[in-house]
Amino acid sequence: MSKSFEFDLINKENDARAGEFNTPHGKIFTPTFAPVGTQATVKTLTPAQLESTGANLILANTYHLYLRPGAELISEMGGLHEFMQWKKPILTDSGGFQVFSLSEMRKIDQDGVTFRSHIDGSKHRFTPEKAIQIQENLGANIIMAFDECSSPYDESYSKQAMERTHQWAVRCQNAQVRDDQALFGIVQGGVFPELRKKSAEFISSLDFPGNAIGGLSVGETKKEMYQIIDVVNHILPEDKPRYLMGVGTPEDLIYGVQRGIDIFDCVLATRLARHSAALTNIGRMNLMNSKYSRDSEPIEQGCSCYTCQTFSRAYIRHLIMAKETLSGTLISIHNIHMLQSLMEHIRNSILENRFEKFAKAYLENYEYKPGITADKILS
Amino acid sequence: MSKSFEFDLINKENDARAGEFNTPHGKIFTPTFAPVGTQATVKTLTPAQLESTGANLILANTYHLYLRPGAELISEMGGLHEFMQWKKPILTDSGGFQVFSLSEMRKIDQDGVTFRSHIDGSKHRFTPEKAIQIQENLGANIIMAFDECSSPYDESYSKQAMERTHQWAVRCQNAQVRDDQALFGIVQGGVFPELRKKSAEFISSLDFPGNAIGGLSVGETKKEMYQIIDVVNHILPEDKPRYLMGVGTPEDLIYGVQRGIDIFDCVLATRLARHSAALTNIGRMNLMNSKYSRDSEPIEQGCSCYTCQTFSRAYIRHLIMAKETLSGTLISIHNIHMLQSLMEHIRNSILENRFEKFAKAYLENYEYKPGITADKILS
């Protein structure tokens, strides 16, 4: 069972919340965005570079690390923090989502899932108990209950997966041995408000130190996603952090916070970076575009990240055209910094009761409009 | 014509020299090793990471930058230093070596070389005048005369290429317009001592502010290479820096310095890094080896680089196995730092008249012998 992990709600503005979640590796200031370090590395970045973006909480993937290099090896090496040299909070997912999306030949039963590795085809089995054991070996600060993510529009499968997720949530609680990790429950139920309501009520009843909304951003419309968040968050307890899994565009961060989300994670910032796209406060930029070939401006005017303080768009475009992986590093630094900086502005605006005003102004400008710079919007 | 670029010889021990070469971007403390940033980036490293290795002079490739993004573009962006944000000295090669090794369908005549780009097959022509013009646009501190590198064992071709290199050297001197770049001449002549002697005499007579030995490390034996360096360096002027092009294994740095070389460059350190191999003061390590999977030691004990101060061999091996490019970044940092640190030890030992002793001890230990640590050797 988890020790009590204190979550202090510092201020609320309508449903938006600013808080602090205490972990043995320091406070998580919410709302927060967690970059994804799937294989115990946020791709192309050193921990020092990652820290320079303002990142605090990061996520690592249980499925990947279980397969390679193995959770026991990481435990022997002193746990994830020591292994990857990230001294701030870490969250691991349960492996559930990857087992359903990445592995081959999976067979689900009430007890767990048997699957084949996407790396070498070897056969493995995850159960709720196994998912907890692996996550205890990895040693993150926040660990997740083992869940089943359904096809969002299949009602009968969504109901079945939700019920299994509930049974597994109880088994995860019972399986937990370490008391220094916060185990979060996960709400499922596809795009169906009644299922989501039922799931939120059941998961809330288990009194996890935090709760997550799973199974979103997997094909449903934005409208459906926001509706589900509304339904769920009005049921999940106020005094526990709420984590929206796998969501992290700038606009979704705003809309999520508006609906009472505290924690987000997403591969978008780093994946876009490796595909030449920068996130800015006014929209996305494709830095491969030839119009940047002689552009001496930074990616985003007014941005204080290492990349924008140092390099021109022209140089980054050159790196992209020359297939130099440094372009992915430089854009990743910018993209993560951009989201961290946005979250900081969001948090400050909540603390000062001007979040709604900030959100409205931000979203009006959010779209590519040359000439509008970040410092104008964020001031 | 070059302004006088002062080269101060601080101390000599037998043929080994410690000096300072003054450039508008600061002093180059010789002997020195220049990491290679072919496409205006030392692969996978930011300038900040590169600087942390102790790197000072770096090399960029004229052939690559001429083709992409173009020398005029780099000139418009303020020159190479500004473009890639490397504030210390930069050297560009003449493009000659790459035209002969990388391009397609090259045709050489007395006036120059016509070739097709290895990128898109487009047709281009380099002449000595063009090579200087491109390098003036790039704006490095040290630029190189346009030369022809022969097959080392073909005597009649080596003679022909050498003679053309001599004619081109004169034309390069005449073509130079900027007076803030040091133009170095290049000695050619394959593995043939008589040709090398002739070439060294001719190139010396042109009174370049620095001289290079080209066409080595291209297939000849080590014995032949060292013999040629001996022949050439006893002719090249004492009061000008001597640059051995494309050579940079730890043992060759020692043997080169012993024979009076001041400047080295080589892609080895970074290329090995991207192929999982670390340079250490006792030999090479293949970090993919499974014996490192649970090894909590740094790559090299006693090493002060960011990588060794932060990460275990086990973590770096994991990154390699998981195909994370961060492994290339981390090993590159170590490998370059290792060579920089070796050069610093070499330089200090020359300044203190104990280079021969240092070299002997170093080479005796240079080979993989577990249990011998860098701090033991370098103290």
Partners of B325 on chain A (C-beta within 8 Å) are 43-44, 325, 328
Instruction: Choose among A74, A148, A76, A144: nearest CA to A107.
Output: A148
Interchain contact, B321 vs A68, CB within 8 Å: yes
Q: Which residue of A lies nearest to B309 if distances are taken between CA atoms? A: A85
pLDDT in tens, A349-366: 999 999 999 999 999 988
With beta carbons under 8 A apart, name residues in chain B contacting A73: 293-294, 314
Angle between helices B326-351 and B313-321 in degrees, nearest 10: 140
Q: Which residues of B touch A39 (CB under 8 A)?
A: 318-319, 322, 324
Cross-strand pairs, B21? B7, B28
Cα dist from B154 to A358, B104, B159, B213, whole Å:
74, 21, 9, 18
What is the C-alpha separation between A97 and A103, in angstroms, rounded?
Answer: 10
Put simply, the answer to whether B73 touches A39 (Cβ < 8 Å) is no
pLDDT, tens digit, for every residue of B1-52? 445 689 999 999 999 999 999 999 999 999 999 999 999 999 999 999 999 9
Torsion, Cα B81 B85 B91 B95, to 10 degrees, reads: -90
The DSSP secondary structure of A257-284, one letter per residue, reads HHTT--EEEESHHHHHHHTTEEEETTEE
Give the rounded percent of residues in chain B with a pLDDT score beyond 70.
96
Residue A375's pLDDT band, with cuts at 50, 70 and 90, is low
**Distance (Å) from the C-alpha of residue A251 to the closest C-alpha of chain B?**
30
pLDDT of residue A367: 72
- ipTM confidence: 0.95
**Among A240-244, A368-372, B109-113, which is the least confidently predicted range?**
A368-372
The 3-state DSSP class for residue B185 equals strand
| pLDDT tens track for B136-173 | 999 999 999 999 988 889 999 999 999 999 999 999 99
Q: Give the nearest chain B residue to A312 (CA atoms).
A: B83
Residue A1: what pLDDT?
46
**Pairing assessment for the beta strands B142-144 and B90-92 based on DSSP bridges:** parallel
Residue A124 φ/ψ, nearest 5 degrees? -140, 165
Say if residue A379's pLDDT is above 50. Answer: no
pLDDT band, very low/low/confident/very high, at B379 (cuts 50, 70, 90): very low
In Å, how far is A287's CA from the nearest CA of chain B? Answer: 14
Catalytic member of A93, A147, A252, A262:
A93
Mean pLDDT for the stretch of residues A33-58: 98
Domains of chain A: 7-30+61-266 (3.20.20.105), 273-378 (no CATH)
The amino acid that residue A144 corresponds to is M
CB contact under 8 A, B314 and A48: no
Average pLDDT over residues B87-100: 93
Is the pTM for the entire model greater than 0.90?
Answer: yes
B307/chain A closest Cα distance in angstroms: 9
Collapsing DSSP states into helix, strand and coil, what is residue B106? Answer: strand
Q: Give the pLDDT confidence of B359-378 residue by residue, as tens digits.
A: 999 999 887 555 555 555 55
Report CB contact under 8 Å: B46, A330: yes
A291: DSSP letter: G
8 Å CB contact between A125 and A113: yes
Q: Using the beta-carbon criterion (under 8 Å), do A41 and B321 form an inter-chain contact?
A: no
DSSP string, B30-62: ESEEEEB-TTSS-TT--HHHHHHTT--SEEE-H
Distance CA B56, CA B25 (A): 10
Closest CA–CA distance from residue B334 to any residue of chain A (Å): 13
